[in-house]
Amino acid sequence: MLGALACASALLTACGGGSSGSNTDPDGVVITFATLVRVSAEAAGTQCANGGVRVQSGMDIDSNGVLADSEVSSTQYVCNGADGSNGSTGSNGLSTLVRVRTEASGAHCAQGGSAVLAGMDTNGNGVLEDSEVSSTSYVCTGSNGATGPTGSTGASGSAGYDSLVSLSTESAGANCAYGGQRLQSGLDSNRNGVLDITEVLATSFICSAAPADTQWVNVTGTAVQAVSNTGYLANASANVVITLPASPTIGDWVKVTGVGTGGWTIAQNAGQRITTRGLPGGMDITWTAEALTGNWAAVAMSADGTRQVAATSGDLYVSTDTGGTWVQRLAGQPWSGVASSSDGMKLVAVTNGGAIYHSADGGQTWSDDGTARAWSAVASSADGQHLVAVAYLGAIWTSADGGASWSSHESNRAWRAVSSSSDGRVLVAGTNGAQLYVSTDYGATWTARASGQYWWGLASSADGQRLYASVDTGTIWMSNDYGTTWEAQGTSRAWRGITTSSDGRFVVATTSGGTVYQSTDSGTTWQSSADGGAWTAVASSSDGLTLLASKSGGALYGGSRRSSTTTGVTGSVSGGQEDALQLQYVGGGVFMPISYVSASLMFTVR
């Protein structure tokens, strides 16, 4: 029993600092006191007939770490039972444990305080668990005392330092490309009213913008090395070569204006090029005759221009390398139209007086639907599922399942051409001598539009908003509202095939007995881009940079549209007298036109 009491005493003493009470001093400062517990033996008597343990607790008012008798606010007793008869030696007795926990404000303590819990360690784990608590007492925090008088005012602190700012001129250089102001700030630690260099804590710069007036250099010789952010007047009777800055910074610019009759050329350094998509003459097409010749009637290609298909009046060929090589796949049919899905794997071809042919493997194998009509044209959606075909003096036929089944629409007319948006929703069909017919519901219904013309070719932007139609011995017609209204543009010619990029910006049209014409502004203006001949059909990649055109009785022609100069020292842009061009460096060796004046109508790009 004495050993258990000694252990309990030690435990109670250790727990004495686990909680606290508080009071308020005369100045209103809250003072916190620790709650202490004292355990002592209780002799046999009134409290415990057979003796036991006295557990006393209270706040350590004098903060000496010892619970004085005057600090005791609660006393508990853990009494021994009556002596029984001596029995056999039993197991070790149970220890008495005490635990102190914080008591929230409530019924037991109005201002909060500590709860002192005591009991026997019945499970012998050395921890007083809730189920082992046999008695609880509370040591409560007293209420706050009255506020004490205000203390006297402390001595005044020393005077602080003034903040100073200094502005001075900053010359053009690393901190400000075009000069500006240097702004320095700090504390006037020596109180002389001047921001000395040793007092500067921060420095910043207010930089001037690039000068609004260009610094121009009058060049009367034949060559000059350009400096960034400078303008050059090419003022000579011979061509003036201005070489771009070798190490420009992003945002740097160069201006060139032709003053003399010799004109000018902007030359490049290694690794440099100039984008030309926005320049007149910067999107010229280079046409190259390919090996095959024949009476070509129809051409088509994939969205990227890699896979191509072309048909003569008797044979059908496919290419998988942008027209580099061609393989004959079908023969002995009077082909009148071909179409391709965007990936070039689903192809459809129609014959005049025969069937519709399908291929699902890029043209390697083909099957026909067994029909026999005077098919004149066919078009396909991007996925190859929605197809539309027209028969001369017949109907319009549509398929929503890649050609597995077909349904007819409209009256029998002299249908000659047809086009489709990429999703197959917006369709246009042209007649030989009557109106255009437009459908915006996948061919379910059709509405007559425009006037009666000898329509020959049709082309559609990917979304079907921009539409183009060519007329035999007429003009090019355009619609910018999905075919609701149409307007004639350009010169009357013997127009044949027509094609456009997916955004409707780059348009190419062929003529019979004339040349190939191109527009880089959605059909507003047109320029000749090839030699003369009996041009027939033409097809474009989705970006308008790859083209395929054909001649009747001639060759197939691959077209490549320029979008920049040749990279390196062989590339250049040239202009003439009164031509002007401003270029800005955008990084990666690339300069981009940001303004121009083209008195010569177009620039020469190499």
Assess contact for 516 and 536: CB atoms under 8 A: no
User: What's the whole-number mean pLDDT along residues 482-509?
Assistant: 96
Query: Domain check: are 294 and 403 in the same one?
Result: yes
Handedness of CA 390, 394, 399, 403 (dihedral sign): negative
Q: CA–CA separation, 604 vs 251, rounded Å?
A: 25
Q: Which pLDDT band, with edges at 50, 70 and 90, does 7 fall under?
A: very low
Do 371 and 349 share a domain, yes or no?
yes
541, two tokens: 């990649």
Phi-psi category of residue 447: left, alpha or beta, with phi > 0 → left and psi -120 to 50 → alpha? beta
Are 454 and 474 contacting, i.e. CB atoms less than 8 angstroms apart? yes
Please indicate, yes or no, whether residues 106 and 224 belong to a single structural domain of this protein.
no
Are 40 and 176 found together in one domain? no
pLDDT of residue 33: 79
Confidence (pLDDT) at 213? 64
pLDDT tens across 214-257, in order? 899 999 999 999 999 999 999 999 999 999 999 999 999 999 99
Taking residue 599's Cβ as centre, other Cβ atoms within 10 Å add up to 11
Rounded to an integer, the average pLDDT of 391-418 is 97
Is there a single domain that holds both residue 513 and residue 397?
Answer: yes
Q: At residue 597, does pLDDT exceed 60?
A: yes
Q: How would DSSP label each residue in 223-251?
A: EEE--TTEEEEE-SSSPEEEEPPSSPPTT
Question: What is the C-alpha to C-alpha distance for residues 484 and 333, in angstroms, rounded to an integer?
Answer: 37
Mean pLDDT calculated for residue range 135-151: 81
| The two structure tokens encoding residue 367 | 């099957």
Same domain, yes or no, for 413 and 547?
Answer: yes
**Structure confidence by residue, pLDDT tens digits, 512-559:** 999 999 999 999 999 899 999 999 999 999 999 999 999 999 999 999
Q: Which of 18-22, 170-174, 488-492 ranks highest by mean pLDDT? A: 488-492
Number of domains in the chain: 4
Tell me the pLDDT band of 30, cut-offs 50, 70 and 90: low
- What DSSP designation does 228 have? T
Let me know whether 272 and 289 are in one domain.
no
pLDDT (0 to 100) of residue 336: 97
Which residue among 174, 207, 240 closes a domain?
207
Residue 599 DSSP symbol: T
Same domain, residue pair 554 and 582 = no
Rounded-to-integer distance, Cα 565 and Cα 549, Å: 24
Q: Starting from the edge strand earliest in sequence, which strands make up the sheet with 223-225, in order?
A: 223-225, 240-243, 264-267, 572-575, 604-605
Compute the radius of gyration of the chain from its Cα atoms. Answer: 49
In-domain check, residue 457 = yes
Span 571-579, mean pLDDT? Answer: 96
> When comparing pLDDT for 450 and 161, which is higher?
450
In this structure, what DSSP letter does residue 130 have? G
Indicate whether 25 pLDDT > 60.
no
Secondary structure of 405-449 in HEC code, one letter for each residue: CCEEEEEEEEEEEEEECCCCCCEEEEEECCCEEEECCCCCCCEEE
Within the chain, what is the greatest distance between any pair of CA atoms? 138
CB 497 within 8 A of CB 535: yes
Among the residue ranges 22-26, 64-68, 210-214, the one predicted with the least confidence is 22-26
**Quick check: 90 and 113 in contact, CB under 8 A?**
no
Q: Is residue 533 in a domain?
A: yes
Token pair in block for residue 431: 């007649």
Tokens of 116: 């002192």
- Residues 328, 229 share a domain: no
Fill in the DSSP letter of residue 4. Answer: H
- Would you state the pLDDT for residue 19? 44
Question: Is residue 150 one of the residues assigned to a domain?
Answer: no
Range from 138-142, 270-274, 561-565 carrying the lowest mean pLDDT: 138-142
Domain that holds residue 69: 2-82+93-140
pLDDT for the residue 168? 86
**Element containing residue 95 per DSSP (H, E):** none
Question: E strand or H helix at 91, and its extent?
Answer: none
Question: Given 526, 544, 561, which residue is the final one in a domain?
Answer: 561
According to the model, what pLDDT value does residue 579 have? 95
Supply the pLDDT for residue 27. Answer: 57
Tokens 């945002």, residue?
251
What mean pLDDT comes out for the span 286-290? 94
**Pairing label, strands 133-140, 52-59:** unpaired
Structure tokens at 60: 């350590």
Confidence of residue 15 (pLDDT cuts 50, 70, 90): very low
Residues 276 and 290 in one domain: no
Looking at residue 546, which CATH number applies to its domain? Answer: 2.130.10.10
Residue 88 lies in a domain: no
Q: Which residues of 68-95 are buried (b: 16+ CB within 10 A; e: fewer)?
A: eeebebbebebeeeeeeeeeeeeeeeeb
Residue 89 has a pLDDT of 61
Q: Give the model confidence (pLDDT) of 105-120 as tens digits.
A: 999 998 888 888 888 8
H-run or E-run covering 585: strand 580-587
Q: What is the structure's pLDDT at 26? A: 53
The more confidently predicted of residues 169 and 596 is: 596
Q: Distance (Å, rounded) from C-alpha 559 to C-alpha 538?
A: 10
* Residue appearing with tokens 């369709």: 427
Residue 152 lies in a domain: no
Whole-angstrom Cα distance, residue 423 to residue 586?
36
Q: Is residue 516 assigned to a domain?
A: yes
pLDDT tens figures, 336-391: 999 999 999 999 999 999 999 999 999 999 999 999 999 999 999 999 999 999 99
What residue type is assigned to position 164 of the chain? L
CA–CA dist 294, 69 (Å, integer): 124
Domain identity same for 337 and 456: yes
Kindly report the average pLDDT of the chain as a whole number.
90
581 assigned to some structural domain: yes
| 577 vs 188, more confident | 577
d(CA 600, CA 499): 28
Residue with tokens 């014959």: 351
User: Residue 157: which H helix or E strand, with range?
Assistant: none
484 and 540 inside one domain: yes
**Which of 151, 185, 207 finishes a domain?**
207
Q: Give domain status of residue 87, yes or no.
A: no
Is residue 420 within 8 Å of 443, Cβ to Cβ?
no
Buried b (16+ CB within 10 A) or exposed e, 1-31: eeebbeebbebbbebbebbbbebbeeeeeee
Residues present in the chain in total: 606
CA distance readout (Å), 274 to 216, 429, 559, 580, 585: 22, 41, 21, 15, 9
Q: What is the pLDDT of residues 88-100, one digit of tens each?
A: 665 666 788 888 8
Higher pLDDT, 43 or 318: 318
CATH code: domain of residue 601: 2.60.120.640
